[in-house]
C-alpha cells in the first residue's frame, strides 16, 4: 500500500502542478488578452488622431511648398554654393524633429544623418528643434549643441515659430559660413526622404561671384534678405517635417493595431484551448476519482 | 530628297523661333505668403512691388535684383491685362537672371479683403501704443505697427 501511495504521489504531483499551472496560465492569458485589447484601442485612437492632423498638415503643406521652393530659388539661380567651402569652416546644422515619439523612424533618421556626416570634433554647432533630436544627439555631440527648441509637435508649426528660431539663431552670435537644415521631405503617406537645405551666411553670399549680377545691393539689404530667407526656409522645413511625422505616426499606429489584432486572435485561440483543457482535466479527475471509489 | 531636307530645315528653325518667343515675354512669378499661394510660377506681364529702396515695377528681362518689401501694395498685371492688387506687410523680392520673380510676403491679403474702418482703428491703436511705449524694443515694435497701419489706411483709399 505504501508503495502504491508512493507510486500515486509522483503521479499526482505533476498533475496537480499541471492543473495549477493550467489554471494560472488561464488567468495569465486572460490578463494578457485584456491588456493587448486595451493597447489596440489606444493605437487605433492614436491613428485616428494623427490621420486628422495629417490631413490638415498636408493641406497646409501645399502653399508652404511653393513658398519654400521660392525661397530656395535665389540660391540655386545665383549658384552660391558652387564653390566648396573650406574644410574647417564653421557650420550651423539645424535638426528639425519634434517632441513626440511613436512615429516610426522620422527622428532617428535625421540624427543618423547628422551622426554619419559629422564627427563630434568638427567645427560646427547644432540647433535641435524638438526634444527627440536633442536626446539622441546629446549622447555623442553634447558639446556641439548650440541651443534646443522644446514644445514642438503639439500644434502645427507656424511662420512665427520659424521666425522665433531664426531670431534665436541670429541672436546667439554664432558666426557660421555655411550650414544645413536637416528635415524629412514628405513624399507620400508611406514614404518620406531625409534631406538637407543649404544655408549661407552674409560672407558666403557676398563672396560669391554671381552676386555681381544683382543690381544695387548693399550689405544692409543683403543681410535683411538673408534673415528673412532663413526664416522662410526654416518654416518650409518645419512644415515638411510635420507632415512626414504625422503620416509616419499614422502608418506606425496602423501597423501596431494590426499586430495587436493578430496577437489577440492568437491569444483567444490559446485561451479557448486552455479553458477546454482545464475543463477536460477536471472531468477526468472527477470521473477517475469516482471510478476509484466504486 | 530635297523635300525632306527643306522640311528638316523648317522644323529646326521653327524650334529656334519657339525658344525665342519663350524668353522674350515670359516672366514666371511666384507670389506667396506662408499660408497662401497667389501665383505659382505663373507668367505675368508686370509686377509692382513696394520696397525699402522705393517702389519699382518689374517687367520681363528686368535686371536681377534683391529687395526687402515694405508695407504696401503689390500689383500684378496678368498676361490677359487684368490687374490684381494685394497688401503685403513685409517680405522679400527676388528677380533672377532667367527672368523668374519670387515675391515672398510674410502676410499678404487681396486688397478687396481690407476693411477701411478696421484699418483706421488699427492706426489709432498703433499710435496710442507708440505714445505709451517704454523701452527700445517696445518702441520699435510700436513704430513698425504704425508704419504698417499707415500703409493699410493708404491702401484702402
Name A77's Cβ contacts closer than 8 Å, sequence gap at least 6: B94, B96, B97, B98, B100
Give the pLDDT score at A213: 84
Strand partners, B69: B51, B91
Considering only alpha carbons, which residue of chain A is nearest residue B102? A70
Q: Which of B33, B35, B100 sits opposite A73 (nearest CB)?
A: B100
Query: In angstroms, what separates the C-alpha of B20 from chain A's closest C-alpha?
Result: 21
Task: Report CB contact under 8 Å: A63, B36.
Answer: yes
Give the pLDDT score at A217: 81
**C-alpha grid cell, residue A47:** 491613428
Query: In angstroms, what separates the C-alpha of B73 from chain A's closest C-alpha?
Result: 19
Say how many CB pairs under 8 Å bridge A and B: 82
Considering only alpha carbons, which residue of chain A is nearest residue B91? A228
Long-range contacts of A157-163 (CB under 8 A, 24+ apart): A157/A235, A157/A238, A157/A239, A157/A241, A157/A242, A158/B34, A159/A231, A159/A235, A159/B34, A159/B35, A159/B106, A161/A235, A161/A238, A162/A231, A162/A232, A162/A234, A162/A235, A162/A238, A163/A231
ipTM: 0.81
Give the pLDDT score at B77: 93
Residue owning grid cell 490578463: A31
Banded model confidence at residue B3, pLDDT cuts 50, 70, 90: low
pLDDT in tens, chain A (294 residues): 444 444 444 444 555 565 555 556 899 999 999 999 999 999 999 999 999 999 999 999 999 999 999 999 988 888 877 777 777 789 999 999 999 999 999 999 999 999 999 988 889 999 999 999 999 999 999 999 999 999 999 999 999 999 999 999 999 989 898 999 999 999 999 999 999 999 998 888 888 888 888 887 888 888 999 999 999 999 999 999 999 999 999 999 999 999 999 999 999 999 999 999 999 999 999 999 999 988
Model confidence pLDDT, tens digit, residues B103-133: 999 999 999 888 889 999 999 999 999 998 8
Give the pLDDT score at A20: 58
Query: In angstroms, what separates the C-alpha of B57 from chain A's closest C-alpha?
Result: 14
Q: What is the pTM of this model?
A: 0.85
Amino acid at each position: 500500500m505504501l508503495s502504491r501511495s508512493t507510486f500515486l504521489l509522483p503521479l499526482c504531483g505533476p498533475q496537480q502542478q499541471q492543473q495549477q499551472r493550467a489554471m494560472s496560465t488561464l488567468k495569465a492569458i486572460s490578463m494578457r488578452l485584456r491588456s493587448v485589447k486595451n493597447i489596440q484601442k489606444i493605437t487605433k485612437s492614436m491613428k485616428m488622431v494623427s490621420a486628422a492632423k495629417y490631413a490638415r498638415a498636408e493641406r497646409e503643406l501645399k502653399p508652404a511648398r511653393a513658398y519654400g521652393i521660392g525661397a530656395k530659388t535665389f540660391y540655386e539661380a545665383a549658384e552660391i554654393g558652387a564653390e566648396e567651402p573650406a574644410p574647417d569652416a564653421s557650420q550651423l546644422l539645424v535638426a528639425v524633429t519634434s517632441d513626440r515619439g511613436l512615429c516610426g523612424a522620422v527622428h532617428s533618421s535625421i540624427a543618423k544623418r547628422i551622426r554619419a556626416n559629422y564627427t563630434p570634433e568638427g567645427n560646427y554647432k547644432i540647433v535641435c528643434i524638438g526634444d527627440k533630436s536633442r536626446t539622441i544627439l546629446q549622447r555623442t555631440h553634447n558639446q556641439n549643441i548650440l541651443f534646443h527648441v522644446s514644445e514642438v509637435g503639439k500644434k502645427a508649426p507656424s511662420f512665427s515659430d520659424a521666425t522665433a528660431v531664426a531670431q534665436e539663431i541670429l541672436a546667439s552670435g554664432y558666426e557660421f559660413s555655411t550650414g544645413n537644415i536637416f528635415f524629412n521631405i514628405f513624399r507620400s503617406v508611406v514614404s518620406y526622404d531625409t534631406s538637407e537645405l543649404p544655408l549661407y551666411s552674409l560672407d558666403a553670399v557676398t563672396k560669391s561671384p554671381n552676386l555681381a549680377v544683382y543690381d544695387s545691393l548693399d550689405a544692409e539689404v543683403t543681410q535683411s534678405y538673408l534673415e528673412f530667407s532663413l526664416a522662410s526656409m526654416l518654416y518650409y522645413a518645419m512644415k515638411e517635417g510635420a507632415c512626414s511625422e504625422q503620416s509616419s505616426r499614422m502608418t506606425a499606429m496602423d501597423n501596431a493595431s494590426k499586430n495587436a489584432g493578430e496577437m489577440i486572435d492568437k491569444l483567444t485561440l490559446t485561451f479557448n484551448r486552455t479553458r477546454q483543457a482545464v475543463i477536460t482535466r477536471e472531468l477526468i479527475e472527477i470521473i477517475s476519482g469516482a471510478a476509484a471509489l466504486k | 530628297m530635297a523635300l525632306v531636307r527643306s522640311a528638316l530645315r523648317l522644323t529646326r528653325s521653327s524650334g529656334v523661333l519657339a525658344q525665342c518667343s519663350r524668353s522674350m515675354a515670359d516672366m514666371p512669378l511666384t507670389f506667396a505668403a506662408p499660408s497662401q499661394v497667389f501665383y505659382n510660377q505663373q507668367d505675368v506681364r508686370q509686377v509692382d512691388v513696394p520696397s525699402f529702396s522705393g517702389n519699382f515695377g518689374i517687367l520681363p528681362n528686368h535686371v536681377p535684383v534683391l529687395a526687402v518689401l515694405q508695407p504696401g501694395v503689390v500689383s500684378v498685371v496678368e498676361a490677359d491685362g487684368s490687374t490684381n492688387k494685394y497688401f503685403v506687410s513685409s517680405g522679400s523680392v527676388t528677380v533672377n537672371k532667367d527672368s523668374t520673380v519670387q515675391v515672398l510676403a510674410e502676410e499678404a491679403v487681396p486688397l478687396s479683403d481690407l476693411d477701411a474702418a478696421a484699418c483706421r482703428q488699427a492706426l489709432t491703436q498703433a499710435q496710442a501704443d507708440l505714445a505709451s511705449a517704454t523701452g527700445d524694443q517696445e518702441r520699435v515694435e510700436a513704430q513698425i505697427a504704425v508704419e504698417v497701419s499707415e500703409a493699410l489706411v493708404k491702401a484702402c483709399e
